[in-house]
Amino acid sequence: MQNKHADRRISVICPAKLNLTLAVGAPRADGLHPIASVMVTVGFGDQLTMTPSHDKTSRFTRVWHETAPRPTPIDWPIGSDLIVRAHAVMEQVADKPLPVEVALTKRVPVGAGLGGGSSDAAGVLLSLRRLFGLPIDDKQVLEVAGSLGADVVFAVHAMTQSDRSMPPSLGHKAALVTGTGDMIEPINSLPAFDALLIFPDGACPTGEVYATFDASDNTARPDSELAELADRWRHASGLPAPMNDLAKAAAKTCPPIEHAMQTLAAQGVQAYLTGSGSALFTIVGSQQHAVAIAESLANNGLAACPTSYLPLP
């Protein structure tokens, strides 16, 4: 039964994700790569606000927040944006128009490997369900997410509330992600940590990074090794040692990554790539430490933002 008391306005944070670890295998026949990755959402993300449209026409706006660490031109057609595609698929599933005003205020840089667009799409899916009281269960939402991309599936997992009376909200959640990004196992033992996100002045097209990775010799891991790493991370009692098999390929694709890592190394900071880049992260002892590093990096022309992972109880 449709919920007669559906919210008339929803505002939600769509959290960025970090790949604390990312191991990558050789491409399958369909071109997709098997992976093993420990992924978390963090306290940094985009702001999504949705209200019903009174003239039955859906509208979408995208702007950068004034505090966004690395704003760039949003130069792709609105019709190809994941938030619009997510809305269109939900209309198909609901089998009726879902007229909305969607305002997206972005903080997560484009092409950073932080899953910003995917998290935004997940926010649209979950917010539409609540806004219109749609009788669509979590399994159906995940199926819709899968049609939009593997990172959208992870974001839906992270943002779905067990209490359906609550709107989707920032969820600091961790998961072991395997397969081609479609197999997600919650990790409940990951401890809280503080981190600093670093944003080199460049974007990493995912396809180019993977193509460079595929062109490198002896970089892809066999399935047995992916399974071994997944099992190790699945049963880890603390933070896994950060690593990313795409780091060298991303640095070749986006030279500012190498410059940023050299700048950080000169300050004694070990940084790691997230996703296919270009963003880097480092684990720190406190938010104060993160702020101090960020201020130092600003003097070298590098944007950075403190964040944290706080597991939900």
Task: Based on the residue annotation, tell me whether 173 is a catalytic residue of this protein.
Answer: no
pTM over 0.85: yes
pLDDT (0 to 100) of residue 217: 78
Where do the structural domains in the chain lie, given as residue ranges? 10-186, 193-309
Which residue stretches of the chain have pLDDT < 70? 1-7, 161-171, 313
Do 279 and 198 contact (CB within 8 A), yes or no? Answer: yes
Each residue's pLDDT tens digit, 9-25: 999 999 999 999 999 99
Measured CA to CA, the distance from residue 110 to residue 107 in angstroms comes to 9
Each residue's pLDDT tens digit, 71-94: 988 888 888 899 999 999 999 999
Measured CA to CA, the distance from residue 126 to residue 6 in angstroms comes to 13
3-state SS of the chain?
A: CCCCCCCCCEEEEEEEEEEEEEEEECCCCCCCCCEEEEEEEEEEEEEEEEEECCCCCCEEEEEECCCCCCCCCCCCCHHHCHHHHHHHHHHHHHCCCCCEEEEEEECCCCCCCCCHHHHHHHHHHHHHHHHCCCCCCHHHHHHHHHHHCHHHHHHHHHHCCCCCCCCCCCCCCEEEEECCCCEEEECCCCCCEEEEEEECCCCCCHHHHHHHHHHCCCCCECHHHHHHHHHHHHCCCCCCCCEECCHHHHHHHCCHHHHHHHHHHHCCCCCEECCCCCCEEEEECCHHHHHHHHHHHHCCCCEEEEEEECCCC
Task: Based on the residue annotation, tell me whether 151 is a catalytic residue of this protein.
Answer: yes
CB atoms within 10 A of CB 267: 11
Range 193-309: architecture per CATH: 2-Layer Sandwich (3.30)
- Residue bearing tokens 């070298």: 300
pLDDT (0 to 100) of residue 75: 80
Measured CA to CA, the distance from residue 73 to residue 111 in angstroms comes to 12
Pairing relation of β-strands 100-106 and 174-178? Answer: unpaired
Catalytic residue among 120, 151, 194, 245: 151
pLDDT (0 to 100) of residue 133: 94
**CATH fold for the domain made of 10-186:** Ribosomal Protein S5; domain 2 (3.30.230)
pLDDT (0 to 100) of residue 4: 47
Each residue's pLDDT tens digit, 228-279: 999 999 998 899 999 999 999 999 999 999 999 999 999 999 999 999 999 9
